[in-house]
Amino acid sequence: MFITFEGVEGCGKSTQSSLLKGALEKDGKSVILTREPGGTDIGVEIRNIILHSTIDFTHEYSELLLFYVDRLEHVKRVIEPALKEGKIVLCDRYIDSTIAYQVFGRGMSRDVVDRLSSIVNLTPDKTILFDLNVEEGIRRAKKRADLDRFEKEELAFHERVREGYLDQAQKHPHRMTKIDVDGKNIGDIHTDVKKILGLS
């Protein structure tokens, strides 16, 4: 099973994916937890470039293409082999991030993204979207560490990203489930995640 976690900055998806990994392993499941960008050695280097706070790409598609280099290598080197071995793959960000951040946030062509995605050709079995007010998300991100290139974007950008996620959730209700995390503690959100996946 391939499960992805999505949401705006500071929504807690990384924490929740780690908690789910622990719960699944406690239940005897074989699980890997990975992320995009950065799920391979090449991906780590790409992540450092993409998130670096001083990077300024000249061409509008440079950022997008780097994300797809990361994804192609990630799928072939990590995700597909793990799925073939019968493992559960948990991934912090995937295709829905590309649509939310690059299409809605940056205004890039959805057609270009769809054509690139057709090369990857791997859809998650389940996606959990952690929905959060963007101002609260950025406040949390500031407390966590220095802001990266995306976190430093204006609030209007993050609002568009959130809109993109909500649009995806509406279009793919069979795959994507939204959890409203505003005002909820980590334990309650973890319980919600387990319920969505049919875990006790």
Local confidence pLDDT in tens for the 200 residues of the chain = 999 999 999 999 999 999 999 999 999 999 999 999 999 999 999 999 998 878 888 998 999 999 999 999 999 999 999 999 999 999 999 999 999 999 999 999 999 999 999 999 899 999 999 999 999 999 888 887 777 778 888 999 999 999 999 999 999 999 999 999 999 999 999 999 999 999 86
Distance between CA 150 and CA 101 in Å, rounded?
9
Residue 92: closest CA among 153, 37, 172, 147 = 37
Which residues partner with 127 through β-bridges?
A: 4, 176
Distance between CA 156 and CA 163 in Å, rounded?
10
Residue 5: closest CA among 88, 97, 81 = 97
Tokens of 141: 């991100």
Distance between CA 124 and CA 153 in Å, rounded?
28
Under CATH, to which class is 2-196 assigned? alpha beta
Residue ranges of domains in the chain: 2-196
